[in-house]
């Protein structure tokens, strides 16, 4: 009689442990094969001089940390790419306040507000390639709208915005901000729906309005939206590859490269036959991302802990 | 267009086929991966495959045509896993990485067996380490294409020396035009200018020694001289502005509208300029003028077929390469109905086209210095990429020359080890 309660045996008894493991298994499997393993593989390949053709074991030459040495001490293009990455990371964050203010502006009930919302969201829907092309025309020297506009103020940028090494990266970042702002806007619009009207009412009774209302009452409630907007913007900044490829192809003279683009150029492009060197760049990029990934994970862990309390 | 090629090629194939290849024993599958993706070349490639298939009824031909630009980075994957039998690529050092990694088959034996009669003049471009790694199927000249009508209007004639070139250019600039159009966004067009400036200033042998990494970019006085000559043109405002934002097609309207009078380009530009509305009365060609006292070297890029080293059906590949290189097929595919370029076989007929004829005469009679491929085919890939970037920068900011040369010298010290 006592054994009857253990119906189904071991499997049934440990159901609570086994079920989540089974559900996690496919994800873990793919994650380790397609993400974790390649990360270690990149570390490994980055210690070789290898043209990416044929077998690494046969044709690769072990060089230790020489690739990194060259990267940090001799490669000016790497330095330029790294700084461009920093520019992207910092300036791309402008999408968050911009998105917030558009969202606040659109968060009202008037006739046809859905149309306006869709129009503001539109740049996020079209492909990055199209955004790149459109801004490319916008920036055209002499004939482009931008050049005409600044021409009225007597400003003439030699070579046009994306033909001049001093302005090109900023020009591309502005192009990238257009869809990214729309993305942040939609995140905040959803967030604003969840703002508690009673708290606003209470704040109003206490005499809060304008900036104080925004800063002390609305924004704290939008914290989850801000976090997500921050995450997607950082990720967007680090994968700025397609806009650069479309608008300048890394030029003029390599001044708009970022690490991901430089890695592609060195390892996989038409003239790129340095798999080891490209992997070293990828590793550096990974380490930069790791800072943010670490922060995101820590933040989410803190949030969960707070919830469990 | 396709039909007429097919007809000529089929006729030629019949003769060639009966005479030389025992066609009956060919069976299995021949897989070809081609980069001839533009409409004209595509029809040629499809015609070649169809005709070769007709000669060998038991042989199945699988033809994949990949976008020409995409192929430049896809070829490595195509050759690594499950390789096809025959692929398209380019001659000279551009073959280097694939030869070094053993992905192209050494076909020296086929050359030695006399498969490619009439191809002696192009054999050098297919040779690395004393072995041959492929077979060319077409090439074309580079040179200065110019607006004949504007030259006439200004009373100019084709210059033979650099001094005349500069004198001409000054007249053109004074008339409110630019001398040359160029779109350097994808860098290689700047490479063409350097090729010619250096081959004319220091001679073909110097240029090739530089390509082989034997000369220093910073120490060699000749290199400095080349850039000094080039700078004369840049400083006088000979080039269209903002060329770093344009690709080579974007640069064409300047010439078609008459804002610029000339274009240093490969012969493929003729077709595009004609499509743009220029007639043969408005358009002409001259060889890049002399600078130093050296026999002229010319750029004549050659496009090629190769056999993958893992090819499952090398016999069929061999027959196909022989077929492509044969005199009659060469005449047909390079004719005005086909590629409109120069045949690689000395026994072929050259198309009756003003520009192809001029190019042929130039390359066969007036290129005693030697025939180069092109900057990005003669220099190793990494040197070419760093080099062309520096050349583009020089064209926009000539003052940065010292800095540019330092970078190129560093790349040289790394690449040729």
How large is the average pLDDT for residues B250-255? 94
Candidates B183, B242, B397: best to mutate against A (most CBs of A within 10 A) is: B242
Whether residue B148 is contained in a domain is answered as: yes
Q: Taking the domains of chain A in order of start, what are their residue ranges?
A: 75-308
CATH number of the domain encompassing residue B11:
3.40.190.10
Using pLDDT thresholds of 50, 70 and 90, give the confidence band for residue B3: very low
For residue B325, the model assigns a pLDDT of: 94
pLDDT in tens, B213-236: 999 999 999 999 999 999 999 999
Same structural domain, B17 and B29:
yes
Given this model, what pLDDT does residue A7 score? 62
B359 within a domain of the structure (yes/no): no
> What's the rounded mean pLDDT across residues A203-212?
86
The boundaries of the domain holding residue B287 are: 142-299+371-415
Q: How many domains does chain B have?
A: 2
My answer on whether B343 and B380 are in the same domain is no
pLDDT 10s digits, A117-145: 999 999 989 999 999 999 999 998 888 89
Give the whole-number percent of chain B exceeding pLDDT 90. Answer: 75
| CA angle centred on B392, ends B390 and B398, rounded to 5° | 80
**Same-domain check for residues B123 and B253:** no
Mutate to test the interface with B, among A160, A252, A263 (most CBs of B within 10 A): A252
B230 belongs to a structural domain: yes
User: Hey, is the C-beta of A69 within 8 angstroms of any chain B C-beta?
Assistant: no
pLDDT tens-digit profile of A216-241?
A: 888 999 998 999 999 999 989 988 89
Indicate whether B200 and B280 sit together in one domain. Answer: yes
Tell me which residue in A142, A270, A273 faces B72 most closely, judged by beta carbons. A270
**Closest-CA residue of chain B to A168:** B245
Would B117 be classed as within a structural domain?
Answer: yes
Region B20-35: mean pLDDT is 75
A163 contacts on B by Cβ (under 8 Å): 242, 244-245
The Cα-based distances of A122 to A98, A128, A131, B21 in angstroms read 15, 12, 11, 62
3-class secondary-structure state, position A16: helix
Task: Evaluate whether the domain defined by A75-308 bears CATH number 3.30.56.10.
Answer: no
pLDDT (0 to 100) of residue B11? 47
Q: Which is nearest to A259 in space by CA: A40, A88, A47?
A: A88
In B127-237 the beta strands, taken as DSSP E runs, fall at 127-128, 131-132, 135-139, 142-147, 178-180
How far B379 CA lies from chain A's nearest CA (Å)?
Answer: 11
Q: What mean pLDDT is reported for chain B?
A: 90
B291 and B340 in a single domain? The answer is no
Residues 6+ apart with CB under 8 A from A130: none
**B254: Cα separation from own chain's centroid:** 23
CA–CA dist B113, A61 (Å, integer)? 37
| B289-341 tens-digit pLDDT | 999 999 999 999 999 999 999 899 999 999 999 999 999 999 999 988 888 89
Pairing type for strands B142-147 and B260-266 reads antiparallel
């Amino acid at each position: 009689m006592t054994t009857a309660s253990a119906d189904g045996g071991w499997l049934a008894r440990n159901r609570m442990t086994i079920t989540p493991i089974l559900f996690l298994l496919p994800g873990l499997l793919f994650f380790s094969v397609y993400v974790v393993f390649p990360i270690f593989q990149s570390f490994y390949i980055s210690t070789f001089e290898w043209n990416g053709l044929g077998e690494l074991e046969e044709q690769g030459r072990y060089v230790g940390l020489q690739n990194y040495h060259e990267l940090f001490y001799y490669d000016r293009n790497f330095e330029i790419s790294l700084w461009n990455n920093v520019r992207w990371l910092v300036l791309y964050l402008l999408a968050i306040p911009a998105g917030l203010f558009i969202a606040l502006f659109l968060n009202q009930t008037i006739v046809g507000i859905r149309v306006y919302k869709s129009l503001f969201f539109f740049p996020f829907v079209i492909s990055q390639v199209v955004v790149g092309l459109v801004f490319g025309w916008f920036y055209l020297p002499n004939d482009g709208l931008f050049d005409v506009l600044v021409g009225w103020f007597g400003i003439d940028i030699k070579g046009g915005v994306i033909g001049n090494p001093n302005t090109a990266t900023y020009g591309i970042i502005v192009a990238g901000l257009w869809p990214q702002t729309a993305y942040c806007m939609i995140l905040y619009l959803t967030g604003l729906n969840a703002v508690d009207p009673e708290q606003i009412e209470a704040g109003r009774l206490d005499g809060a309005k304008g900036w104080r209302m925004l800063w002390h009452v609305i924004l704290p409630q939008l914290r989850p939206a801000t976090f997500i907007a921050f995450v997607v913007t950082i990720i967007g900044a680090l994968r700025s590859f397609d806009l650069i490829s479309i608008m300048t192809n890394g030029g003029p003279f390599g001044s708009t490269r970022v690490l991901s683009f430089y890695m592609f150029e060195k390892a996989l492009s038409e003239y790129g036959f340095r798999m080891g060197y490209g992997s070293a760049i990828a590793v550096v990029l990974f380490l930069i991302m790791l800072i943010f990934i670490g922060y995101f994970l820590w933040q989410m862990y803190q949030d969960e802990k707070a919830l469990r309390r | 267009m396709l039909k007429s090629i097919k007809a000529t090629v089929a006729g030629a194939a019949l003769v060639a086929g009966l005479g030389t290849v025992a066609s009956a024993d060919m069976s299995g599958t021949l897989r070809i991966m081609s980069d001839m993706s533009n409409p004209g070349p595509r029809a040629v490639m499809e015609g070649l495959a169809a005709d070769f298939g007709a000669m060998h009824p038991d042989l199945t031909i699988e033809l994949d045509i990949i976008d020409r630009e995409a192929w430049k980075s896809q070829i490595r994957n195509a050759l690594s896993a499950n390789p096809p039998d025959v692929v398209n690529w380019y001659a000279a050092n551009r073959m280097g990485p694939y030869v070094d990694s053993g992905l192209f088959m050494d076909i020296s034996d086929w050359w030695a067996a006399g498969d490619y009669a009439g191809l002696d003049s192009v054999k050098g471009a297919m040779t690395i380490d004393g072995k041959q790694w492929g077979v060319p199927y077409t090439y074309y000249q580079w040179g200065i294409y110019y607006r004949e009508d504007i030259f006439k209007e200004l009373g100019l004639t084709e210059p033979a020396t650099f001094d005349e070139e500069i004198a001409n250019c000054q007249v053109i600039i004074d008339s409110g035009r630019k001398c040359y159009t160029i779109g350097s966004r994808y860098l290689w067009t700047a490479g063409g200018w350097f090729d010619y400036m250096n081959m004319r200033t220091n001679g073909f042998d110097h240029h090739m020694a530089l390509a082989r990494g034997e000369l220093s970019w910073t120490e060699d006085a000749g290199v400095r001289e080349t850039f000094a000559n080039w700078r004369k043109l840049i400083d006088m405002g000979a080039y269209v502005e903002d060329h770093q934002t344009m690709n080579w097609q974007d640069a064409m309207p300047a010439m078609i509208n008459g804002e610029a009078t000339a274009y240093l380009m490969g012969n493929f530009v003729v077709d595009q300029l004609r499509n743009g509305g220029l007639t043969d009365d408005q358009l002409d060609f001259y060889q890049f003028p002399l600078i130093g006292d050296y026999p002229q070297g010319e750029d004549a890029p050659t496009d090629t077929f190769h056999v993958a080293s893992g090819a499952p059906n090398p016999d069929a590949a061999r027959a196909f390469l022989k077929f492509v290189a044969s005199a009659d097929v060469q005449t047909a595919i390079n004719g005005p109905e086909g590629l409109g370029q120069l045949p690689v076989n000395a026994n072929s007929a050259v198309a009756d086209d003003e520009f192809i004829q001029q190019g042929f005469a130039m390359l066969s009679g007036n290129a005693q210095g030697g025939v180069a491929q092109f900057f990005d085919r003669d220099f190793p890939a990494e040197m070419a990429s760093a080099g062309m970037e520096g050349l583009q920068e020089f064209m926009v900011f000539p003052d940065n020359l010292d800095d540019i040369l330092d970078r190129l010298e560093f790349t040289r010290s790394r690449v040729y080890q």
